[in-house]
Amino acid sequence: SGVEALVDERLVIAVPDGDGPVLSQQMGAYLHGAGLTAKVGYGGAYAQASGFRWSYFEARESLTRGLPVNTPDRLSLTSLLMASEDVPLADLAAEALDPVVAFDQRHHAELMVTLERYLMLNGSVAAVAEALQLHRNTVRYRLQQIQDLSGYDPGVTADRVHLYLALNVRGLR
């Protein structure tokens, strides 16, 4: 038994501690058996008063993996920032990434793909070049374009964190 609600156009079900993984698997199997391509994500159980909210944002963040059933990572600073309604994350993400997305759409430059891989591969130009089958100089050129368009240098830790959070926010829309 649980409590259901619609939040941000998503079905949210609160269940007793420990039932999340089993219920998520069952729900995922049921939805896919019915021919629906919905994704299922769940969050951890927390005793604090704000625990339900934290769990919701963990579940929402897990959906960015795109699997039929998505398990949460432990609560992270990213999750906590996503849970804050006082921080204009969507606006900050749009300010940083919209120029890059617009450039990609006009020129098919794949800057967003390069940025995502660069962040996923911990800032290794060589690893990005190998993963995208590009020359290292091409990756460096794309990173410079991202810096020019966004105003954030992916090679600088503070800017890299900003871009990482912006990509996470964009993935939750």
pLDDT at position 101 is: 97
Residue pair 123/86 in contact (Cβ under 8 Å)? The answer is: no
Residues of the chain predicted below pLDDT 50: none
Q: What domains are there in the chain, each with its CATH number?
A: 3-83 (no CATH), 89-172 (1.10.10.2840)
pLDDT at position 16 is: 74
Q: Name 35's Cβ contacts closer than 8 Å, sequence gap at least 6.
A: none
pLDDT at position 83 is: 61
pLDDT at position 118 is: 98
